[in-house]
Amino acid sequence: MKARVQWAGEALFLGESGSGHVVVMDGPPDAGGRNLGVRPMEMLLIGLGGCSNFDVVSILRKGRQPVESCEVFLDAERADEEPKVFTKIHLHFVVKGRGLKEAQVKRAVELSAEKYCSASIMLGRAGVDISHDYEIVELG
């Protein structure tokens, strides 16, 4: 896997993935930015959410669960001192469908956390306290 990040002036950076997609990252005005894109640490958090949500949806679909929507809300805490690394991250999944089995939703979240989500496992090995929970919304 490869990526390229190019400085575009002030605190603005353009990140290009190996697959050719570009994302804008910028800093806040107090750091010389113009707030034109996500912060790099936000990007890391979004990547974690995308990785884990991809797993959960994939596991549920393979288990023939009638999932219609899956969102993950991430809440992170960072160290007060430099380096301001993540210290805690909580992922809260909201899974919606008709007739979802709770045991399968629980198992999907657990499998993502313990076996499949490379981002979550990597951050956990680096000392970040990562927790997960879920809720199921029955659609009428």
Instruction: Assess whether 21 and 77 both reside in one domain.
Output: no
The total number of structural domains in the chain stands at 2
Q: Are residues 46 and 91 in the same domain?
A: yes
Overall average pLDDT of the 92-115 stretch: 98
Is pLDDT at 14 greater than 90 in this prediction? yes
Q: Which helix (H) or strand (E) holds 14?
A: strand 12-17
Per-position DSSP letters for 65-107, written without gaps between them: --EEEEEEEEEEEE-SSSS--EEEEEEEEEEEESS--HHHHHH
For the segment 107-116, the average pLDDT, to the nearest whole number, is 98
User: What's the rounded Cα separation, in Å, for the pair 120 and 113?
Assistant: 6
Average pLDDT of the chain is 97
Tell me, yes or no, whether 58 and 97 share the same domain. Answer: yes
**Structural domain range at position 61:** 40-138
Sign of the CA dihedral 39, 42, 44, 49? negative
Tell me: do 50 and 89 sit in the same domain.
Answer: yes
- pLDDT digits 0-9 by tens, 1-12: 999 999 999 999
Instruction: State phi, psi for 106 to the nearest 5 degrees.
Output: -60, -45
Residue 140 is predicted with a pLDDT of 87
Tokens found for residue 125: 């090995």
Arithmetic mean of pLDDT, 80-105: 98
